[in-house]
Chain A
Amino acid sequence: MLVLPGEEIAGAGLKPGPGTYRVGGKVYASVLGLLSSRPPLVRVVPLSGRYIPKEGDVVVGTVADVQGTFWLLDIGAPRWAPLHMTGTPWEVEVGETEKYLRVGDAVVVQVESLDATGRIGVTMQGERLGKLEGGTIVRIAAARVGRLVGRNGSMIEMIVRRTGANVSVGQNGRVWVGGSPSAIQRVVHVLRMIDEEGMRPGLTDRVASYLSASGPSDDRGPAEAPRESAGRDAPDPPWAGDDGPQPEREPN
């Protein structure tokens, strides 16, 4: 059930959980979201808003600032996440951070630690973590990531299979898409659909029918360029890879 900030929720005998507050024995919603009552807790699961990091989440971020021993990553959270040079698969010398990652570069990292002040520690050491080359990044609402992945990964599996694109989904709602330009275009269109219609039922069918209508499962361009995705998030062609000073290892 959809609730809005300030609405009283039936919380008799229940503890006010996240997204709620209690005044004078009554429980109210504090965020816009869906009411979820799992005794002994009532909570409101947000339907919008920024990504709130959780330990262990794998996220897609971009470098916002470079310092001598660390980078600051924009992962769509309330604060930037520092990635220390010791948290990378590379052997970085102090002051040489910019040789590895520069402002604007895209990375996949994992949330390692969180503290009470909202500081976010991330690491790039681990399977499927590292720098992203080429492709494009699409932002969807963090609350819609569950919908994009689907039950047991059913939705994302279908998208990848039917388009042949490489897709890397961050829990923060940033999705990296690589592959042929037409595959990227189709995935971007699907991501827009999920972002905008994720709350309406029948989404899986609409995505499936778009994928059938827009082209074969491999590499030929869609019959008609999707209008929606041709706007501000027009996919870039995957670059052949820039030949700047690259670290020895290339993840992914």
Chain B
Amino acid sequence: MGSVGAKEVPVLLSPEGLRIDGRRLDELRPIKIEAGPLHQADGSAFVEWGANKVMAAVYGPREVHPRHLQQNNKAVIQCKYNMAAFSVDERKRPGLDRRSQEISKVIAEAFESVVFAEEFPRTSIDVYIEVLQANAGTRCAGLVAASVALADAGIPMVDLLPAVAVGKVAGRIALDLKKEEDNFGEADLPMALVPQSGRLVLLQMEGHMTPEELSQSLDLGVRGCRDIYEKMKAALRARYSAPSSGGAA
């Protein structure tokens, strides 16, 4: 993406310290989460995060396909992250590419560290993430959607998995980059947090940062994750609210 620099670089940070869309450096884009929009899946979620729109569906635990991936002591977690052809300005060539394979892998591994997979030996938990509209931070949006979908599917796990990216924009550390900031910024650092333990189960980085900036970014990201965590819980509560007291035998 370095060649993008040939284009005109927009002003990413105003003299007042506001970003291209008017946010402060530590401010998230607006997030809307809906739990359970799909009926055929065991669990599902739809996330609108800034201009990102991501749908996640979870199936399982169910029989493993292909069979040879079956593990006799736990469930395998298979994840497929996909971007729709119409999700970006220039048509994206549909299908698997190296980027989507990588994202599928890191998301599956993040979930492996929170899901109690030993409870369902010889099965598969299949997570599908479809990015309908992309504007930077889709792996985090996908992870958030998938995590809510997993809870909706009744999968036992340590905790929900909020995620956010922190980056470096015009020399400053900023939370939750949008597309222009991602393209013209200096660094991008997506992360996913287990709020219960405070552990990070996904951490990637692109670009350059000093060690001080990195630790500042981690602090900022963890705070962002905790805000997103509350929104994830609110979405699940809204879906399962007002349970009948008694009645259910």
A residues lining the B interface (CB < 8 Å) = 2, 4-7, 19, 21, 23, 28, 30-34, 46-50, 78-80, 116-118, 143, 146-147, 149-151, 198-201, 203-204
Contact = CB atoms under 8 A, between A and B. Distances in A.
Given A2-B237, A117-B121, A21 B116 contact: yes
17 contacts: A5-B157, A5-B159, A6-B195, A31-B154, A31-B157, A32-B151, A47-B154, A47-B240, A48-B43, A48-B153, A48-B154, A48-B240, A79-B63, A118-B123, A149-B249, A198-B248, A203-B244
B113 to A, nearest CB: 13
A49 B243 contact: no
A23 B194 CA distance: 14
A22 to B, nearest CB: 12
B244 A201 contact: yes
B60 interface: yes
B197 A23 contact: yes
Among B61, B75, B237, residue most surrounded by chain A Cβ atoms (within 10 Å): B61
B245 interface: yes
B42 A49 contact: yes
Given A2-B240, A6-B194, A79-B61, 5 more contacts: A19-B156, A78-B75, A117-B122, A118-B123, A199-B242
Given A4-B151, A31-B155, A118-B121, A201 B160 contact: no
Contacts of A146: 248-249
A199 B123 contact: no
Q: How large is the interface on B (under 10, 10 to 19, 20 to 34, 35 or more residues)?
A: 35 or more
Given A48-B152, A50-B60, A4 B236 contact: yes
Interface of B: 42-43, 60-63, 72, 75, 116, 120-123, 151-160, 194-197, 233, 236-237, 240-245, 247-249
B196 A28 contact: yes
B1 to A, nearest CB: 35
A4 B247 contact: no
Given A21-B116, A78-B60, A146-B248, A6 B158 contact: yes
A201 B245 contact: yes
Contacts of B152: 32, 48
Contact of A147 (B42, B63, B233, B248): B248
Contacts of A2: 237, 240-241, 243
A117 B70 CA distance: 12
Nearest to B159: A6
Nearest to A64: B63
A209 to B, nearest CB: 17
A141 to B, nearest CB: 9
Contact of B156 (A5, A117, A150, A201): A5
B248 to A, nearest CB: 5
A78 B156 CA distance: 13
A5 B151 contact: yes
Contacts of A198: 244, 248
Contact of A78 (B62, B195, B240, B247): B62
A48 B247 CA distance: 17
Contacts of A79: 61-63, 122-123
A5 B194 CA distance: 11
Nearest to B232: A4
Contacts of A33: 154
Nearest to B36: A48
Nearest to B158: A6
Contacts of B121: 116-118
Given A30-B158, A50-B154, A150 B249 contact: yes
Contacts of B244: 147, 198-201, 203
A33 B239 CA distance: 12
A30 B154 CA distance: 9
Closest 5 CB pairs of A and B: A49-B154, A6-B159, A78-B61, A30-B156, A48-B154
Contacts of A203: 244, 247
Highest count of chain A CB atoms <10 Å: which of B116, B240, B247: B247
A31 B153 CA distance: 9
A19 B123 CA distance: 19
Contacts of A31: 151, 154-157
